[in-house]
Amino acid sequence: MTGRVSVCMATWNGARFVEAQLASILSELGPADEVIVVDDASSDNTVELVQSISDPRVKVFPRDENKGYVRTFEEALTRAGGDYLFLSDQDDVWVPGRVRVMVQALQENQVVASNLSTLDGPERIPGPFLIKDWHVRSQDSRRNLWNLFLQLAGLQCYWGCAMAVRRDALEYLLPFPDFLIESHDQWIGLCANMAGSIVHCDERTIRRRYHGDNLTPAQPRGVLPALRSRWMLIRCLGVARLRGLGRPRMRSGCHAARSRVLG
């Protein structure tokens, strides 16, 4: 497995935990890899803490204006130069061996979604409708239509911090739709399922931190926010179709692109 890894991190007022997160990431990376940190106009000393890390692999891009986490991740992906792009929050911890597991999965797929465990919270991630362990299953990787249905129903647990993409997937992932104000991870999962090039990884490769500024996945959203979210995903389906996803000729193109990348 050869290729450069780029970690795309969005930060905002993350001084409390960002150093521990970066330490867990850097221990996984090789000398040619990089961490792209885009800071969304933090009012604390997040930028100073990241800049103080004496590691040339860490590159910081502060913003003067807050644009929200979706646009921050979009910019980080745009700036990344690697072959394998990992999304990262500012306050989790990577499990040792994560890069090896995820890059291996990306040899035959454009997107990989893994599971996660928690720090300072329940051992398993709770989900809606009293689901005690909300997770992806490897056996569902090729059930693309079913995965799309679960996404639209709000029942598919794609977490951006537990995902990675291959560079050729950026051809259809970027730019994010201009109306996308949340759930960039659902956009990535939706596109990858429509392209037929996603794999679910049973391993728990991230330890997600629970704290007062980090909403739990099981927290009720209310009817109107949930309906707005579903409508946004439906609109995302339309954008993905306009980009050629879900059509046989596009799937052939994806396979051809994959062959070029892998040589």
DSSP summary character for residue 219: S
* Sheet (strand 34-39) strand order: 58-62, 34-39, 5-11, 84-88, 163-166, 111-119, 198-209, 93-94
Instruction: With beta carbons less than 8 A apart as the criterion, state whether 29 and 7 touch.
Output: yes
| pLDDT tens, residue order, the chain (263 aa) | 679 999 999 999 999 999 999 999 999 999 999 999 999 999 999 999 999 999 999 999 999 999 999 999 999 999 999 999 999 999 999 999 999 999 999 999 999 999 999 887 666 676 666 566 678 999 999 999 999 999 998 888 899 999 999 999 999 999 999 999 989 999 999 999 999 999 999 999 999 987 655 544 445 567 787 788 889 999 999 999 999 998 643 444 344 333 333 33
pLDDT the model gives residue 223: 76
Could you check whether the bond before residue 248 is cis, i.e. omega within 30 degrees of 0?
no
What residue has token string 């454009």?
Answer: 110
What architecture does CATH give domain 5-262? Alpha-Beta Complex (3.90)
Region of 68 please: left (phi>0), alpha (psi -120 to 50) or beta: left
Instruction: With beta carbons less than 8 A apart as the criterion, state whether 140 and 150 touch.
Output: no
> For the chain, what is the largest distance between any 2 Cα atoms, rounded to a whole number of angstroms?
49
Distance CA 230, CA 68 (A): 20
Instruction: With beta carbons less than 8 A apart as the criterion, state whether 88 and 161 touch.
Output: yes
Q: Tell me if the pTM is above 0.85.
A: yes
